[in-house]
Amino acid sequence: MKIEKNRHIIIFKTLIEGNDPVTAETLAKLTKSSLRTIKNDIAHLDSQCVKEEILHIRSFKAKGYAIEILDEKNYEEFVHDITVLSSLFYGRNVESVNRRLYILQRFLVDEYVKIEDLCDELFLSRSSIRKDITWASRFLASYHISLESVVGKGYHIYGKEQDLRSALVELRCSQYHEFQPLYPYEPFDELFRKDGINFYAPLRKAFLDILRSSRIVVSDIETKKIASHICLMYKRIKEGKHPSLTDEIIEELKQTYDYEVAKQIFADETIRGYVNPDEIEILNFARILLINRELNLRITGSEDLPEKLVKENHRIFEQIIDATIDPSHYSIASSLHKTDMFKLYSKDLESLQLQLYLKHHFDYTGKMRFVTYQEGTDELISPIPLELTRVMIARLQLLLGARISDAVVQAYAGVYERLLKKVVYPYKKLRLAVSTTDGLVYSQHVAESLSELYGSYIEKVDVFNLYEMRKVNFDDYDALVYSGAILYYSYPLPIVAYQELDYNRQGGDIFNRLFINGFDRSELYRIRELLNIYENERVREIESFVEALSYRYARDPYTQKILYDQYVENEEIINHYYARNGIMIIFFPYRFTMKEIIDIYIPDQSLYYRESMEVNAIIAVCVDPRMRLADLKILDHVLRYIVQVPDTIEKLIEDKGNTLDVIFDAIVRRKFLNT
């Protein structure tokens, strides 16, 4: 079943994931549509699904809509398709993506393409199609392919053969993302076939059999793209089109392990029966293997990689780290990069940078991806790890003199997320006294159990019988723990019941009654002082508003433009939008403001990010990078809570202090339970 609207994906995803019927009002709110539109959509979608024997959308009076499965196998396949589409069109318009795919395929296949023909085929006016053509031109330019208009003939493209092939493979979506285009273009599909037959499956299997026995590691999606490169070679060679590599690159590639593996691949009987490439083709394929490798210098080292390039990458990496810890730069990464913990994991970041450096040397790091495995990363990675990534990549871009928008960038954020997880929350360990009505032996077991389970939160635990409690100096203890049996005595300190296992009462909430009191709340109080919320802020479009904020926050006129330019640069590295609740978080470098900021702006009217995603709030953040790492972690989780939990900003407006307390308790409780 073809899905043509983003709201249809949302409707199906909501119904599939819901345990109870979903009302039309809920679907209207989720899709930002009218009730009439939802009811018409439901009728249309139900008709199609029943026709294809997938499911029936049933209506329950006063309850809403729910799914009735008609065929289990068809339904499972449909659920898979919806999951893929939800991932694929994350933050992107279904119709425009399909139009752009068709336009790009026409440009790359046909020698000349007239805009009049595209308008007729896509049922668009010349003015309506201009935006898609502009986007297509930008996409091609990222592959170093130029799009030019030739008078009387139409649009024509120019570029190196290896770049044209890379763009063609990226647009071969169906080979690696189960993408079924709304506007299929048969001549494009024919480029990947031999005599009308699709050999993709056997070629990929043969290629993978050799790759798995080698020391080369490639991600799943890249193996699919590389297999598509093999499929494409037959037609391109037959048409007399070959890659052009410089003598220097050829000599470098001949020295690589990837070249040896490439020769093995094309010596395989299955692959050689499909295509018989010459030396330049094999070298170009070695280049493709090399730029798509996954690397782990900390675990496997760099034995198979070009030594000169590995050393140069290491020099650049150290230069970037040195710049981030330079006191004059006030980088948000400085405190973290100075730690021994960072030194342990720095090889992971250097490995990721090496992947980018190899692409820069043998290819390009700024290629736009048409489709991606987008798994809702904004819900998985915290705001500050994403900002740390922007800092690193922005510096690398400056040193390489190249734009970087590669998928590897997201992995940087994952490493920083891991590093922040290792930072310990500030905690004042508790001094506990244990006394029970069951005597010293049992009291000692209670004390040992507390130490075993919560030792990292306890400074000391002493055992007393009830008689000894009369002479205890209560200033030496933060709480008294007893077994949960009745305790008749009262003491001038908190008294908390503890039982290891009680199926009826779950042993009491020992976290809220006892351990939560040890967490340092100083950073929370600082956030409370810094946090300002501005409702009904006049915002007409995001770029001009961020520019206005740059003027508002800059320390002097000279840095006003720098702040805005850095936002634009960072937005291209990793966007600032968090889709779950429609929130943008924009970090401003401290060295250009010299003041700390946590300001939340609520637009006074509907505002959209990249045309289709509503922005409900814009959060401006600037923090002194000299703050404690533990405080940076707390701030990170406060921001993460805000972008993940619905209605948090509304609650902050109602009662800032209480809401921040709730957020802090949720943060440290999760930390406590995961200990």
Residue 415 has pLDDT above 50, yes or no: yes
What's the confidence (pLDDT) of residue 283?
Answer: 98
Q: In which domain, by residue range, is 356 found?
A: 307-411
Report whether 166 contacts 226 (CB < 8 A). no
Confirm whether 236 is domain-assigned: no
602 has pLDDT over 70: yes
Q: Can you tell me the mean pLDDT for 154-166?
A: 97
The structure tokens listed for 637 are 């989780």
In a domain, 183, yes or no: no
Residue 558 sits in the same domain as residue 640: yes
Domain of 462: which CATH number?
3.40.50
Of 411, 443, 475, the position where a domain reaches its end is: 411
Whether residue 172 is contained in a domain is answered as: no
| pLDDT the model gives residue 176 | 65
Which of residues 518, 549, 570 is at a domain's end?
518
Percent of the chain whose predicted confidence (pLDDT) is above 90:
72
Q: Are residues 486 and 538 in the same domain?
A: no
Residue 62 falls inside a structural domain: yes
pLDDT given at position 2: 81
Q: 67 - beta bridge partners?
A: 57
Query: How high is the pLDDT of residue 672?
Result: 78
240 in any annotated domain: no
* 151 pLDDT more than 60: yes
Number of domains composing the chain? 4
Among 69, 88, 107, the domain boundary falls at 88
Same domain, 512 and 530: no
Share of the chain above pLDDT 70, in %: 96
What DSSP line would sit under 293-308, residue for residue? B---TTTT-STTS-HH
Buried b (16+ CB within 10 A) or exposed e, 561-587: eebbebbeebbbbbbbbbbebbbbbbb
Task: Give the CATH number, domain containing residue 579.
Answer: 3.40.930.10
Does one domain contain both 483 and 537? no
- The pLDDT value recorded for residue 295 is 95
Q: What are phi and psi of 322, to 5 degrees?
A: -60, -40
pLDDT at 610 over 90: no
Position with higher pLDDT, 82 vs 253: 253
pLDDT of residue 375: 47
Same domain, 457 and 404: no
For residue 500, the model assigns a pLDDT of 63
| Most confident residue range from 78-82, 352-356, 455-459 | 352-356
501 with 571, same domain: the answer is: no
Whether residue 587 is found in the same domain as residue 664: yes
Q: Is residue 323 part of a domain?
A: yes
Give pLDDT tens digits for 556-583: 999 999 999 999 999 999 889 988 888 9
- At residue 83 the predicted structure's pLDDT band, cuts being 50, 70 and 90, is confident
Residue 351 pLDDT > 90:
yes
Could you tell me which residues come within 8 angstroms of residue 366 by beta carbon, excluding any fewer than 6 positions away? Answer: 142, 402, 403, 404, 405, 406
Domain assignment present for residue 333? The answer is: yes
Task: Tally Cβ neighbours within 10 Å of residue 276.
Answer: 12
CATH, residue 78: 1.10.10.10
User: 338 near 329, Cβ under 8 Å?
Assistant: no
Q: What pLDDT is attached to residue 470?
A: 85
Name the helix (H) or strand (E) containing 158: strand 154-158
Q: How confident is the model at residue 374 (pLDDT cuts 50, 70, 90)?
A: low
573 and 643, same structural domain?
Answer: yes
For the segment 445-488, what is each residue's pLDDT rounded down to a tens digit? 999 999 998 898 999 999 998 888 888 999 999 999 988 777 77
513 confidence band (pLDDT: 50, 70, 90): confident
pLDDT, mean of residues 48-54: 93
Residue 312 and residue 398 in one domain: yes
215 belongs to a structural domain: no
Residue 406's pLDDT band, with cuts at 50, 70 and 90, is: confident
Average pLDDT, the chain: 91
What's the pLDDT score for residue 544? Answer: 93
Continuous segment of H or E residues that includes residue 433:
strand 430-434
What is this structure's pTM? 0.87
Contacts of 583 (CB under 8 A, 6+ apart): 577, 615, 616, 617, 618, 619, 642, 643, 649
Cβ partners under 8 Å of residue 613, min gap 6: 91, 577, 579, 582
Residues 456, 441 within the same domain: yes
User: Is there a single domain that holds both residue 334 and residue 371?
Assistant: yes
Tell the residue number behind the tokens 């508003």, with chain if given. 545
Q: How confident is the model at residue 270 (pLDDT cuts 50, 70, 90)?
A: very high
Helix 35-51 vs helix 24-31: crossing angle, to nearest 10? 100
**Is the domain of 407 the same as that of 434?**
no
pLDDT of 497 reads 85
Q: How far apart are CA 201 and CA 194, in angstroms?
A: 13
The reported pLDDT for the residue numbered 4 is 82
- Residue 552 tokens read as 């508002």
Query: What pLDDT is stored for residue 504 in this prediction?
Result: 52
